[in-house]
Amino acid sequence: MPPPHSQSIPPSINVERTSTPSTTSQLQPHDAPETPLSPTEFHQARNRTPIHMIVWRWMQGPNPPRDVTFTPLFAEYQDLPLRLLYRGRLKQRRWQLGLLIIFWFVWLTTFITVIHNSRFISKVNGQDPYFLSCTSVLWSKNHLCGIDGEYCRPFVNSTIPFRCPAGCLGTNALNPRAVGEQIVAYRPLVIGGPFGNSNDRLLEDAVYRSDSFICSAAIHSGLISNRYGGCGIFSLAGSQSYFPSSKHHGISSIMFDATFPSSFNFLSGVNTPHCHDLRWHLLAVSLVFTILSSLFITSIPIFFASVFTGTFFHVGLASDPPFTTNPYELISISLSRFLPAAFCAFVIYKYAVTYTLSLTPQYTVEKTLYWLTCLWIGALNNITLDPIIPIYRLTGRDLRQQPNAITALVIVVLILLVIVLVQAHFFRQTGRMPKYLLAYFSFGAGLSLLAAIPGSALRIHHYILALLLLPGTRLRNRASLFYQGLLVGLFINGTARWGFAGIIETPESLRGRNGLYFSTLPRLVTPEIPPAGNNVTFFWEDVTTRGWEEGVSVVINDVERFRIDGASGAVTWNRTKLAEGAWEKVYVRVGYWGTGEMGDYTAAGVVEEDGTWRAPGSGRT
């Protein structure tokens, strides 16, 4: 019997409708089953849909959107560092804050100690050394030292204590430099070296032309090492008639077989305390503290701010610092660049990093392995990517001159294209493709407008490339952790090393002090050499000029010797007789000057010892 106040369901009422077999004769017209479209009817229906609607629906991705967050490996072990640390009192917020402050203090103290010993207390025989860059020279190219080198004196009787940074072995001359009839580019500019073959007296015997890179020459002579840099004293040795070629310590020097008025050598037995560049020691310190930050700091904003700040000052003060002769000025430069970089870092964090790194503690180890490792690869760009990607400037002429640059550019573009397509696929899966396509269309339109500004050129620097590509890493897959870390590192390297250079630059700023103008060139003709061979009269012919040319500069043996008014003319040069009785070789180059500036020079014509003339080849310097 049913309980009181309950009602039984009458048997005539069906509680659940069940389907029963039916026949066609039992169906009503409105109950007719849907008939599948034939292939022909399907294509006709699709053809009636506008193509842009088909594309738009495809771009919107699946509905509902899919979660592309990757599954962590060994998830139960990845949060082990956090479980080991945050126990007992460290579960409380105030104890965690105290530990964080102690951590920052130890990091800062260690960093300052290493930097202080690396840069600020070096001495050379009790004197403060003169800080050099890897490209510092005593003599400037072509006309920049004036007639007979007047602006680059003295040539002898001067000694200077100096200090070189680490890593100068791979420093190359990026603009063409003339050394006799050779045109040197994309190799170390070291002219000369030891006269003997013995490594025991390499330092004492080595003499270098004064337009050699001083620090590269110091490595070649064995005075300093590439890994730690070092200090020394160079002495001006005056005129030399021959500079031999040799290969030592990874550098092949260049031979020059004519007289040059200025040279230098290095003194031995010099006391140089605290002269090692400790950037590798500091790298170990920075790696340890950034890895600890990634493993134990659970707050994403605190983690990102700590790592960004530590890496920025590591680059700006140690691994790739801007050149300055005063080490204390490095602090000023780094601080001045850090403020705008911090603002950009906030934007990067808000629109890219915070989403990608919003992962549970089960991703801690993989976040460290992927994101932080790639950040350091990008931040150390000068020793990680630059040596394997031989692209210094993205101009047509530079790419044609740089060895393997076009091949490297094609490979990089293809890799980027694959990465873009893969990332676009994941954005479609998450339903965000239309929004990001619109953003990148806006970026492209803005860059096109900037490129169209007359009298200037678009220059995509490290930090600009990173800012453009970082929005495309706002995903939670493994690849995005790689790409995002690398791009944040490139942004840090670009701003800490070079500052916020303009995205638009003039041809003058792109060319620099030693670049080519691609100006008109005079034409050297066969000179007159008397039978005695004691002098040579050089002639040059006028060519079609552009109106700015007022005269011709004549460079003999890589030293400017004459400036002659007019587009054509002649000069006579007295040859020097060598000790063995033969006449010295003579290398001559000519170039136009006018309106207060100097144009390019021809390649060198050569007068041999026996008076034979070799006309200049193609090229300009």
User: In which band, very low, low, confident or very high, does the pLDDT at 399 lie, cut at 50, 70 and 90?
Assistant: low
- The whole-angstrom separation of Cα 552 and Cα 509 is 25
Please write the tens of the pLDDT for every residue from 129-138.
889 999 899 9
- The whole-angstrom separation of Cα 500 and Cα 515 is 22
Lowest mean pLDDT among 53-57, 317-321, 438-442, 587-591: 53-57
Q: Are strands 551-556 and 504-505 parallel, antiparallel or unpaired?
A: unpaired
Q: What angle (nearest 5°) sits at the alpha carbon of residue 265, between those of residues 263 and 267?
A: 150
- The whole-angstrom separation of Cα 246 and Cα 547 is 45
Lowest mean pLDDT among 348-357, 393-402, 527-536, 588-597: 393-402
- The whole-angstrom separation of Cα 481 and Cα 233 is 48
User: In which band, very low, low, confident or very high, does the pLDDT at 338 lie, cut at 50, 70 and 90?
Assistant: very high
Lowest mean pLDDT among 124-133, 302-311, 369-378: 124-133
Q: Tell me which amino acid residue 144 is.
A: L
Phi, psi of 523, deg, nearest 5: -115, 115
- The whole-angstrom separation of Cα 4 and Cα 132 is 103
- The whole-angstrom separation of Cα 602 and Cα 600 is 7
Domains of the chain: 130-267 (2.170.130.20), 282-511 (no CATH), 523-614 (2.60.40.10)
Is the confidence at residue 374, as pLDDT, over 50?
yes
Is the confidence at residue 313, as pLDDT, over 70?
yes
Instruction: Annotate 398-414 with b (16+ C-beta within 10 A) or e (fewer).
Output: bbebbeebeebbeeeee
Structure tokens at 391: 């692209």
Residues 6+ apart with CB under 8 A from 597: 548
Please write the tens of the pLDDT for every residue from 450-476.
888 887 777 888 889 999 999 999 999
**How far, CA to CA in Å, does 24 sit from each of 18, 20, 27, 29, 69?**
18, 13, 5, 10, 50
- The whole-angstrom separation of Cα 204 and Cα 268 is 7
Phi, psi of 276, deg, nearest 5: -80, 135
Exposure on the CB side of residue 57, measured as CA atoms within 13 A: 6
Q: Are 231 and 240 in contact (CB under 8 A)?
A: no
SS3 category, 148: helix
Structure tokens at 159: 């000694």
Q: Are 620 and 518 in contact (CB under 8 A)?
A: yes
- The whole-angstrom separation of Cα 258 and Cα 153 is 20
Per-residue pLDDT averaged across 30-59, rounded? Answer: 64
pLDDT at 9: 37
- The whole-angstrom separation of Cα 500 and Cα 62 is 41
User: In which band, very low, low, confident or very high, does the pLDDT at 354 lie, cut at 50, 70 and 90?
Assistant: very high
pLDDT at 579: 67
SS3 category, 389: coil
Global pTM?
0.84
Phi, psi of 601, deg, nearest 5: -115, 160
- The whole-angstrom separation of Cα 218 and Cα 136 is 12
Is the confidence at residue 2, as pLDDT, over 70?
no
Lowest mean pLDDT among 94-108, 154-168, 340-354, 540-554: 540-554
Per-residue pLDDT averaged across 348-366, rounded? Answer: 92
**How far, CA to CA in Å, does 364 sit from each of 75, 370, 416, 484?**
9, 10, 28, 16
pLDDT at 214: 92
42-46, 204-208, 258-262 — most confident range? 258-262
- The whole-angstrom separation of Cα 288 and Cα 97 is 20
The H helix count followed by the E strand count for the chain is: 20, 21
Per-residue pLDDT averaged across 194-201, rounded? Answer: 65
Mean pLDDT computed over every residue of the chain: 83
Which residue in the block uniquely carries the two structure tokens 């396509």? 437
Residue 367 DSSP symbol: H
Give residue 311's Cα distance to chain centre.
Answer: 16
